Amino acid sequence: MAKPLTDGERRKQISVRGLAGLGDVAEVRKSFNRHLHFTLVKDRNVATRRDYYLALAHTVRDHLVGRWIRTQQHYYERDPKRIYYLSLEFYMGRTLQNTMVNLGLQNACDEAIYQLGLDLEELEEIEEDAGLGNGGLGRLAACFLDSMATLGLAAYGYGIRYEFGIFNQKIVNGWQVEEADDWLRYGNPWEKARPEYMLPVHFYGRVEHSPEGVCWLDTQVVLAMPYDTPVPGYKNDTVNTMRLWSAKAPNDFKLHDFNVGGYIEAVLDRNLAENISRVLYPNDNFFEGKELRLKQEYFVVAATLQDIIRRFKSSKFGCRDPVRTSFETFPDKVAIQLNDTHPALAIPELMRILVDVEKVDWDKAWEITRKTCAYTNHTVLPEALERWPVSMFEKLLPRHLEIVYAINQRHLDHVAALFPGDVDRLRRMSVIEEGDCKRINMAHLCVIGSHAVNGVARIHSEIVKQSVFKDFYELEPEKFQNKTNGITPRRWLLLCNPGLADIIVERIGEGFLTDLSQLKKLLQLLSDEALIRDVAQVKQENKVKFSAFLEKEYGVKVNPSSMFDVHVKRIHEYKRQLLNCLHVVTLYNRIKKDPAQAFVPRTVMIGGKAAPGYHMAKMIIKLVTSIGDVVNHDPVVGDRLKVIFLENYRVSLAEKVIPAADLSQQISTAGTEASGTGNMKFMLNGALTIGTMDGANVEMAEEAGAENLFIFGLRVEDVEALDQKGYNAWEYYDSLPELRQAVDQISSGFFSPREPDCFKGVVDMLLNHDRFKVFADYEAYMECQARVDQLYRNPKEWTKKVIRNIACSGKFSSDRTIMEYARDIWGVEPSALKTPPPSLPRD
């Protein structure tokens, strides 16, 4: 087979990446050499690979700075309504290539670096991922920032600059081992510290009520130091800001506490304050009620709100005073979007500032707060809902507890007036949950304190209205909306799959990159032989390239002509990696039973991190690696079946594996996955989906036609009916011989001969307390996988379905999602206005 073009060679043929004009190339080379010489090497003779990477990063950054300053100046002059996206997670991945793509610099840089005898792709691999997120929620925030900048919205991402992001995953003897992610070890060329905007954040203390008002006294102060990262829009000269806060101890920290001679200890204790921004909590869809986490949540909210109010007061436009004094117009100038309940404290904190500090009366302050805030719900799993113990809350944030009680009292008075005598409804709708440990239900606080509440896919938003927040929906139905998630086509097509992007541009032009619905134009070319050939060829090249990567990085050899069957996401029982395992074991058994039969060769790749404290998730990883150990070394199987666990799945690995996938597994129990966004990435990159009617899969099937996905299994209604009846796993075990064989093998130690009892706990869960009904979908899943094999045997028909899926994926752009947020929730219109480029003189 012909060796595929390298990405570098291919880039030279690609118009979308910006033509490499000779002037641009010369300019990049000059700038690169200047950075290499002056900012890095200085007194060293020899440059390292990292020096080259940093020189390029600084060169590209230089192109951002003028646009960044101009954009912010532009906002100050126009004074538009500003959007503040508050999130405890921003899963950004790498920045270099994304910046080159969005600035149209990729070809110029590629050519310049090539002329200097270096390889751009090799330099890109040196950059650490910014892993400041766990999974979907944090990656969604990153895609949203890209879309908001591309749509010209005056938007800001606010979060925490964790010193350690999501842990690095090592697999040792088949088990997950966590390693600290010291991503800042070599510095971060993309951030700019802004010490001039440092702000105090208060904790603990006591509250004093007097005729003059309320005072929060004797607090501990931690300083919030902002670090700004530029967020460039796609070829529109807009550069927005992501501002992440880092915790600093004040210089007098603990030194005024009578400690005679305790000076050294006092300085060492600065660590306690600075621990707030030390590490990302590694839980996905699980609430762990730790005080440090509550501190993180208040820290980001308190610093951000001070910043928002400073910016509101000092804005120049339509205001005679040097500063605004009235908060009447606050909701017309500020929108705060809460990414899940993690930043819910923004509601009582804004109330505290308005009432205690700015002396606005309560009812007015509450009206302003509600008009300003909106809440996005991301999960219906009860174990994920944040419920903080009142005792912890009272110690850490005494004034906020009073405010929450006051909000709740007024809310319950309102409900009681509408539903007299319905005490059970009052109990269900209270922000305070009574019981042995009184708790604050943060989701209830968000719903009450927001003017809009949205789910993240149509089916999820219906579940939100009909079960999770049913009582609240009955009270204010107009508040509840749907905003189906999306992904940025810049990172998730143009950047990660240049070959596919190029053949699309050849057919329909490049307008689809900012209006993904234009992919629909490909529907007219479904039978175009050349397109079918090109799409299949690009997929094959991506598979060959990923195979080479697997061999180089992990020493695993895979057959690039096998079906790449990919299941990558956080490891969780509800995502049902175990169902995939049962399919693999059954396939293995069928090959062993009848080795002469013709099988469609498969390489099954499963990847994802397990929360360190989630025992079952760690057992699932061990099961996958154990099955792989047996299957991959069985000579009877050969290369018809391989099982690979993809170690340390993260954004930069997703960018490699997704373009190479043939089959995308999205097999959560119906009603559990709020949306999913990986599903959309695979669809856009030419994989077919096997999945349940859950999350955004429902809308993907609607867009492409259900017959163009492999849909199987229980629907939400069936799951509910089965719950009513009572799910009994043993019925399936007893009546399905292939299932029984697979389960018995796992249980008996066939896949763990050295520890025969290793997976007894997993099987016990599946048989006796499986909340996610793995066995109930086994039969339908096996039949559906047989249909997958059947279609894969006909490459042309397979590729036609692939093209139809790509053509129908336009709805799933985060540009569309953000446009809906802007119009329906934030009350702003996306601006087609290009920011004047820095080269133009200002008026």
- Residues that are catalytic: 378, 569-570, 575, 677, 681
* Contacts for 754-761: CB closer than 8 Å, 24+ residues apart: 758/622, 758/626, 759/619, 759/622, 759/623, 759/626, 761/616, 761/619
Q: Up-side HSE of residue 428: CA atoms within 13 Å toward CB?
A: 15
**In the structure encoding, which two tokens stand for residue 200, read together?**
């105090």
* Whole-number Å distance between alpha carbons of 747 and 182: 39
**In the structure encoding, which two tokens stand for residue 228, read together?**
């700004």
**Are 801 and 755 within 8 A, CB to CB?**
no
Give the length of the chain: 843
How many angstroms separate the first and last alpha carbons of the chain? Answer: 59
Choose among 467, 752, 717: nearest CA to 581. 752
- What burial letters (b/e) apply to 183-193, b meaning 16+ CB within 10 Å? beeeebbbbee
* Whole-number Å distance between alpha carbons of 675 and 684: 16
Radius of gyration of the chain (CA): 28
* Whole-number Å distance between alpha carbons of 430 and 440: 9
Q: State residue 455 phi and psi, 5-degree precision.
A: -90, 180
Cβ atoms within 10 Å, residue 27: 16
* Whole-number Å distance between alpha carbons of 737 and 779: 11
Give 223's strand partners. Answer: 200, 248
* Whole-number Å distance between alpha carbons of 137 and 479: 22
DSSP states along 384-443: GS-EEEHHHHHHH-HHHHHHHHHHHHHHHHHHHHHSTT-HHHHHHH-SEEPSSS-EEEHH
Angle between helix 398-418 and helix 362-372 axes, rounded to 10 deg: 90
